[in-house]
Homo-oligomer: A and B are copies of this chain.
Amino acid sequence: MNHSSSELRRDILSGKWVLLAPGRAHRPGETLFHRVPQPVSPARDCPFEASRLQKETPLLFLGSSERDWRILIIENKYPALRPGHTRIQNIPSKFYKVLHAEGYHHILITRDHKKNFSQLSTEDALLVFRAFQTHYQTLARHSSVRYVSFFQNKGIRGGATLYHPHFQILALPIVPSDVEESLLSSHSYFRLHKKCVYCSLLQREREEKKRVIYENERALVFAPFISRQPFEVRVFPKHHSPYFEDEKEDVLRDVSSALQFVLRRMKTRLFDPDYNFFLHSAPVYRKKAHASYHWHIEVVPRLTTAAGFELGTGIDVNVVDPDEAARVLRFRKKIKSLDPKAFNL
């Protein structure tokens, strides 16, 4: 695209518009990259250190013994949802729907206080996904659970309140409306084209190459054409696969190492930004109805702040063309300067 003009791009799947405005990156005071080294909170105050967690009853651990755990899943002490303290109750109203919500809010912790996901060994990164998958299957058995959300918040701008690397798991009694919309759209596409919309999209991205950042045998990483945030990326299993919980280990291995790759690239290329990544998978109930979905992971580095326009319209303004984002994250050699003017950002 022309870098002094803007484009409005609408995702057919989500119905959402994005305003791509690379010219806005030149504003004075616009600093995408925060080069300030981030402080490490000391391990002695950390509630997720092994010595403290030994008093907890783990929901799941992976490692050679409960003492030598590599991965631990425990209950969140400040849960957004609680199990069965009340049954799901539908309060009827003309204007809104209210559920006294039943659900689960758990935390997955990796052992090392300072090693974030991208710095784990390939084996430990796979362990994170295997532990979560096992736990996912357990949560999915509860009749009240309809959707499981898995994500990581890294750093203050990513909304994390604790430094020690951890992942969150929320099991919800509803399907989020954003997910519902993608499900409906992928279902319609499948009926019309006899093909998964994400499989078609992956094929197109692999042919066009421009936005592909990394590829291994079973996973593909690319910057989506409609990126709501600067340097947003997606990690997809290449084969058609709606349900994360049923995924085979070799795919999990390739997806987790592809995710590690791109997080390492973000760290070196984008000056160690805070970020969130999250899983999108089909709901755990009425599984057959969602066979046209394709599970994947989205990574969003937290470089900008949503303001009045985004809050008031639901349209995100993105100042970085995803073609450029892919170029920056793909290049083997470190680009000398990340001054926006230097390379069309």
Contact = CB atoms under 8 A, between A and B. Distances in A.
Interface of A: 5-13, 15-17, 19, 21, 23-24, 26-30, 77-82, 85-86, 93-101, 103, 147, 149, 151-153, 156-162, 168, 170, 172-174, 176-179, 193, 197, 200-201, 204, 225-226, 276-280, 298, 300, 304-315, 317
Contacts of A305: 156-159
Given A5-B86, A26-B78, A312-B279, A177 B101 contact: no
A308 B78 contact: no
B314 A80 contact: no
Contacts of A79: 6, 21, 23-24
Counting every copy of the chain, the complex holds 2
Contacts of A85: 5
B313 A179 contact: yes
Nearest to A6: B101
18 contacts: A5-B82, A5-B86, A7-B100, A8-B98, A17-B174, A19-B80, A21-B79, A23-B78, A27-B78, A80-B317, A149-B309, A151-B307, A153-B308, A159-B307, A177-B315, A178-B315, A276-B308, A278-B308
Given A8-B101, A17-B177, A24-B78, 20 more contacts: A6-B79, A6-B81, A6-B103, A9-B96, A9-B99, A11-B95, A23-B80, A27-B77, A80-B317, A94-B200, A95-B201, A149-B309, A152-B308, A158-B307, A168-B309, A176-B315, A177-B315, A276-B307, A277-B308, A278-B309
